[in-house]
Amino acid sequence: MTVTSLRRYPHHRLLGVGFGPSHLSLAAVCDSTRAPSVRARLHCLEVRPAFSWHPDMLLDGTRMQIAFLKDLVSPQDPTSPFSFTNYLVSKGRLEQFLNLGTLHPTRREYADYFGWAADRLAHHVSYGYLVERIRPVTATDGSVTHLEVDYRDITGDKHTVTADHVSLAPGGRPVVPTGVERDALDSGVVFHSSTFLPSIDRFHQRGRDLPHRFLVVGAGQSAAEVFRYLAREFPYADVTLAHRGFALTPANSSPLANEIFDPASVDLFHAADATRRHTILAELRTTNYAAVDDEDIHAIAELLYDQRVRGEERLRLCRFTELAACRADGPTALVTLRAPAGGQALTSRFDAVVLATGYDFREAGDLLTGLEPLLLRAPDGTLRIRRDYSVETTAECRPSIFLHGAAEHSHGLSSTLLSVLAHRAARILDSVFGPRPEPGGGRQLPLSDALEGADA
């Protein structure tokens, strides 16, 4: 439903919803390549009270799967003060990091880098605000001139701000398999890997030497990391990893496959028809989904072999297995596991169930509901999204609605990843504020071709 507004609210040229890595990069590229008059016209609203990035999965020793040069800003401005390299300099660790001979920082260090950048870009964000609704505003000729955004503060009070354009990056929603009952989640005996560290802390408090029974569900990187963590931290626990396939699949991190994360490959994907896009996604699925780094696969294999040497049976991988049902039963969970497609089922009791089952980024949740009459969709029901990440709309709609994360069907696997953050940010800024200054007029420089093929 469109409205004609006569009230005056605070106004922004570009308003971002959420302030995770996508909009952090947008702010970094903006401040690195744009004039102060442009920087002042970008603002974001974030529901959290402060910046954080997957704080509950910062397990010791886990590393990033992208090269550090694919940071918030370097692919668009290698001289930016918001680069990972400058972060290392500011922390006095540049030489020590270089001595490690790696392109891949630990996840803990990269999270600290994001927080360091967020502190320096805090003028672009207001924390503690939950965006609830986006509404189009019409002129007398029926055209949609701008958008009204309703949000609430931490006290529950309602506010409204207007924007010429909005950029939506609320993050993904944790996926909970069908069959998991609400009481199991409410009791805390079943939890998603996104809340792993605080959820598992109570078992540390009970005693790490107790014979806990843990179940991990999933076949991706998070599942492997959680399995290794539980095996290490609880030496007398029974730990089961259940997944649908025959074996954990190695991530396809080869240089040629990783070209799918280059901007040129995003161009190729976006220009392809629906059939070709589907083929590309299927062929390169293991660059991102249900796949595990070789190092973790070898480490798990060694754990399983070592326990055979010891004559133990506390660690196990259950292949061809899916979670069929799960409910709370006192302080434990009753879980039914079965072979896929309705095969043989077995019910067991666990002290905790960790759902390493990924995230759903589709369509930025419910934020598009109020704009639905303006949005154009493909025959299969997916949103039609332009190369600059804006949703195609009806002719009378002037504002652009940009999507981060919810554009995999149109832009490929990099949509939900960190690989093209800076490139995507530059595209959006160019669309809203016009082309950026040429090198020499600003500080923007191209990256060397040496980056091509770096791990995504």
Instruction: Report pLDDT for 452.
Output: 34
Cβ–Cβ < 8 Å for 111, 71: no
The correct CATH number of 174-250+291-359 out of 3.50.50.60, 2.60.120.10, 3.40.190.10, 3.60.10.10 is: 3.50.50.60
What's the CATH fold of domain 11-172+361-451?
FAD/NAD(P)-binding domain (3.50.50)
Cβ–Cβ < 8 Å for 70, 419: yes
Q: Which of 371, 365, 326, 367 is nearest to 345 (CA)?
A: 326
pTM score, whole prediction: 0.91
Instruction: Report pLDDT for 3.
Output: 54
Q: Which of 412, 433, 394, 383 is nearest to 168 (CA)?
A: 383
Instruction: Report pLDDT for 438.
Output: 66
Residues in the chain: 456
Domains 11-172+361-451 and 174-250+291-359 share a fold: yes
Q: Is the dihedral of CA 219, 225, 228, 234 positive or negative?
A: negative
Phi, psi of 289 (to 5 degrees): -110, 145
Instruction: Report pLDDT for 456.
Output: 39
Tokens standing for residue 231: 């095996």
Q: Is 136 exposed, middle or buried (0-12, 13-18, 19+ CB in 10 A)?
A: buried
d(CA 296, CA 172): 24
Cβ–Cβ < 8 Å for 315, 302: no
- What b/e sequence results for 206-224 when a residue is b if at least 16 CB atoms lie within 10 Å of its CB, and e otherwise? eeeeeebbbbbbbbbbbbb
Q: Which of 229, 184, 180, 227 is nearest to 332 (CA)?
A: 184
Instruction: Report pLDDT for 223.
Output: 97
Q: Give 344's contacts (C-beta < 8 A, 6+ positions apart).
A: 338
Domain range list for the chain: 11-172+361-451, 174-250+291-359
- Mean pLDDT by runs of 10 across the 456 residues of the chain is 63 97 98 96 97 95 93 97 98 97 96 98 97 95 96 95 96 93 95 97 96 97 97 97 94 84 91 92 82 94 96 95 95 93 87 96 83 95 96 97 93 91 97 80 40 36
* DSSP class per residue in 263-310: HHHHHHHHHS-HHHHHHHHHHTGGGTSS-B-HHHHHHHHHHHHHHHHH
CA distances from 104 to 64, 70, 84, 351 (A): 5, 10, 11, 35
Q: Is 321 exposed, middle or buried (0-12, 13-18, 19+ CB in 10 A)?
A: buried
Residue 429: how many CB atoms within 10 A of its CB?
Answer: 23
CA distances from 77 to 31, 264, 415 (A): 10, 18, 21
d(CA 32, CA 128): 26
Tokens standing for residue 96: 């020590």
Instruction: Report pLDDT for 441.
Output: 43
Q: Which of 237, 258, 283, 211 is nearest to 70 (CA)?
A: 258
Cβ–Cβ < 8 Å for 193, 177: no
Instruction: Report pLDDT for 252.
Output: 83
Cβ–Cβ < 8 Å for 38, 116: no
